[in-house]
Amino acid sequence: MMLSIKKQQGQAIAEFNVTAAFLLVPLFILIPLLGKYIDMKHSSIQAARYMAWERTVWFEKAPKYSSTAAVKSASVIEKETLSRFFGNSDRQISSADKNTLDDDEVNLLWKDNGGRNLVEVSNVSALFPYGDEEVPSKAYKAFDATTNIIDTVANALWNGLVDGMNRFNNIMNSLIGVKPIKPVPPKNLVDITGKFHFEGYYRSEVTMDINNIPYLDVFDSLDLQMVSRGAVLTDAWYPAGNEGKQKQDTMFAKWTDSFVPVVLAREPLSKAQDVFSEPYSILPALAPELANDKLIFGYVDTDPVRDSSEIPECPKGVCSFD
Contact at 8 Å (CB) between 247 and 301? yes
**Between 237 and 285, the higher pLDDT residue:** 285
Cα separation of 24 and 17, whole Å?
Answer: 10
**Domain residue ranges in the chain:** 12-135+199-233, 138-194, 247-317
Mean pLDDT along residues 29-39: 85
Give pLDDT tens digits for 248-281: 555 556 656 666 666 666 667 776 767 666 665 5
Cα separation of 226 and 211, whole Å?
Answer: 11
Confidence of residue 89 (pLDDT cuts 50, 70, 90): confident
> Is residue 242 over pLDDT 50?
no
- Single pTM value for the model: 0.59
Residues of the chain with pLDDT > 90, as a percent, come to 11
**Between 175 and 321, the higher pLDDT residue:** 175
Tell me the three-class secondary structure of 73-130, residue by residue.
Answer: CHHHHHHHHHHHHHECCCCCCCHHHHCCCCHHHECCCCECCCCCECCCHHHEEEECCC
**Between 149 and 28, the higher pLDDT residue:** 149
Structure confidence at residue 45 (pLDDT): 94
Mean pLDDT along residues 102-114: 84
